[in-house]
Structure 1
């Protein structure tokens, strides 16, 4: 890694740190402005009515009710910088412990979906671009337009009804079989429970990569050097291998890393439909229950994945396509 590339990475890393700081402030402000009363949401109006003022005061202290927002944020920020994410108010455990379990489940799901959507989208887009104007191109384009306008939760419920309820060949939810101890859960059990949510996430992520790859491949196929290659008698596969693959891989990979944010966003709805105990479901529970420490930690970790994915995409794009370098500096 040369000096200019190091400066580029360092500069973007500083930007990412500043963005994370801004995200933490925005998330904390939104949580503070939330109309949800944490005591009523978690204890209940009836239970509160039967409690003494001392008991209510202890609950308010536990949930941080009544403290100035700035004081609460600074206290959270100091602890977070030290590596202490606090204690989850809902799970009554350290946030790091809750995050470790939920993130592990979500990563298992999202990595499968991310790989499936990237590979499938790239292949479909390249095929549609190479066969521009032919029936296969129209089918792929129609599929992408249809899926891009279809909500993820609707696809999730449709797949759940077909494969989980009607055909009964896949589990209808959760990440492990019901009633089985953790020591008895096998890797194949986790894979079977992750198939439907992972396929749902991958289906919704295919269209964007496929459509952009298709447009790029069409431009390449209409270029002079590809026309010259056809005149020399090169086959469609040779043209793709020698001229198309490298030129479309860069933009596709950039979109693939940028799609991490879409995978995270889609996982919230998908995990709710399939009752999958991942980070998305934990974020919903934390938001509805005003669990500030857990929700803040989930927000920061999600932002790290999103910003980190974009940073990696920019770096790798410069490696694959040297034309984006100008004077040895990655742009």
Structure 2
């Protein structure tokens, strides 16, 4: 219980620090929504000043920050400059698809990296080991946006096997066909995220398994006549889970940040695409709301990874 409280306190402190840095960094940007041309070009300076007063932008910066911080503690992220709707509502309508993309991708990355890394280590210097290593190096060096554009060009434009963009090609009638169509639209985006994520983790798992196989306890386990499956279950996997889960927790920011690019390329109406459009429109309330929620999800993922490690190994040092 003490560890959980410490983690929650850490989450709160880090969110406050992130909010402080993000708020002042965005407000120090050289342009703003009211000077970006998004408004009526005939609007007067007096009207702009009135709008700033409505949003509280006529007050000193530190007062703006304290007011904004007080509001987000009540889950009130303000009103969007561009749409005039509540930021919370805009984010909540798009959050589920981003979570589906990222969570399903992380699960697939975890499973595939374990499989490829373990099998490559057991077949060291053989064909599968060379195949997995080259595949991992290609994954590690391939930019996700470039891979996404290649897949769209080949499989969507030329072969017409997958949809180019969006999430749906049919109307929502609640039928099985609607949900299958939804999954069909997610195949290429999830593939890009998984392919870009398995490279480094597969190589890491392979090197860990090779070192484990050199250990004395593996030698004695083999001498006792244990099969490969028993070695894997009782000796290799228990030693693999802690470092792999830790690495997955640390890679969460890259996965969430990468969704901005992929959602924009595939026109997926999630938090990433919303962030991109808001950045172009200088819609600061929406940008700040997405940054805070993204930071919260990242910190929460790291805390959950630590708690899982503690469950697997009670002697795990969480300090």
Question: Which of 12, 35, 39 is residue 7 of structure 2 equivalent to?
Answer: 12
Would you say 1:93 and 2:85 are equivalent positions?
A: yes
Would you say 1:38 and 2:30 are equivalent positions?
A: no
Question: Which of 304, 310, 316 is residue 318 of structure 1 equivalent to?
Answer: 310
Quote how far apart the aligned CAs of 1:181 are: 5.4
Q: 2:268: which partner in 1?
A: 276
CA distance in 1, matches of 2:186, 2:22: 30
CA contact (8 A) 2:139 2:195 kept: yes
Higher mean C-alpha deviation, range 91-100 or range 65-74: 65-74
TM-score, normalization: structure 1?
Answer: 0.88
Q: 1:3: which partner in 2?
A: none
> 1:186 aligns to what SS in structure 2?
helix
Would you say 1:83 and 2:75 are equivalent positions?
A: yes
Q: Cα 1:14–1:240, aligned 2, differ >3 Å: closer, same or farther?
A: same
CA contact (8 A) 1:205 1:262 kept: no
How many residues of Structure 1 are paired with residues of Structure 2 in the alignment? 318
CA contact (8 A) 2:148 2:189 kept: yes
User: What is the 5 A alignment of 1:193-204?
Assistant: 193-204=185-196
Quote how far apart the aligned CAs of 1:213 are: 1.4
Higher mean C-alpha deviation, range 26-35 or range 182-191: 182-191
Q: Cα 1:249–1:235, aligned 2, differ >3 Å: closer, same or farther?
A: same
Quote how far apart the aligned CAs of 1:43 are: 2.1
Quote how far apart the aligned CAs of 1:277 are: 0.8
CA contact (8 A) 2:33 2:81 kept: no
CA contact (8 A) 2:116 2:132 kept: yes
Question: Which of 107, 111, 119 is residue 115 of structure 1 equivalent to?
Answer: 107
CA distance in 1, matches of 2:294, 2:37: 25
CA contact (8 A) 2:38 2:281 kept: no
Two-structure CA RMSD over aligned residues (Å): 2.2
Question: Which of 163, 182, 195 is residue 190 of structure 1 equivalent to?
Answer: 182
Quote how far apart the aligned CAs of 1:60 are: 4.1
CA contact (8 A) 1:88 1:291 kept: yes
> For 1:183-237, what per-residue CA distance to the aligned partner results, in whole angstroms no more than 9, with x for missing partners?
6882212211111111111111112321221121111101112122333443333
Quote how far apart the aligned CAs of 1:253 are: 2.0
CA distance in 1, matches of 2:227, 2:157: 46
Would you say 1:224 and 2:219 are equivalent positions?
A: no
CA contact (8 A) 1:148 1:207 kept: yes
TM-score, normalization: structure 2?
Answer: 0.91
CA distance in 1, matches of 2:303, 2:6: 11
CA distance in 2, matches of 1:292, 1:73: 13
> For 1:243-297, what per-residue CA distance to the aligned partner results, in whole angstroms no more than 9, with x for missing partners?
1121112222222233221210111111111111110111122222222221111
> 2:85 aligns to what SS in structure 1?
coil
Higher mean C-alpha deviation, range 21-30 or range 249-258: 249-258
5+ unaligned residues in a row in structure 1: which ranges? 1-5
CA distance in 1, matches of 2:32, 2:286: 17
Would you say 1:212 and 2:207 are equivalent positions?
A: no
Quote how far apart the aligned CAs of 1:323 are: 4.5
Quote how far apart the aligned CAs of 1:64 are: 5.5
> For 1:91-131, what per-residue CA distance to the aligned partner results, in whole angstroms no more than 9, with x for missing partners?
32111111111101211222221111111111111112222
Higher mean C-alpha deviation, range 51-60 or range 143-152: 51-60
CA contact (8 A) 1:174 1:277 kept: yes
CA distance in 1, matches of 2:151, 2:161: 11
Question: Which of 155, 159, 165 is residue 167 of structure 1 equivalent to?
Answer: 159
Q: Cα 1:51–1:182, aligned 2, differ >3 Å: closer, same or farther?
A: farther
CA contact (8 A) 1:105 1:175 kept: no
5+ unaligned residues in a row in structure 2: which ranges? none
Q: Cα 1:52–1:262, aligned 2, differ >3 Å: closer, same or farther?
A: closer
Question: Which of 92, 98, 122 is residue 130 of structure 1 equivalent to?
Answer: 122
> 2:153 aligns to what SS in structure 1?
helix
Would you say 1:239 and 2:231 are equivalent positions?
A: yes
> 1:140 aligns to what SS in structure 2?
helix
Higher mean C-alpha deviation, range 50-59 or range 267-276: 50-59
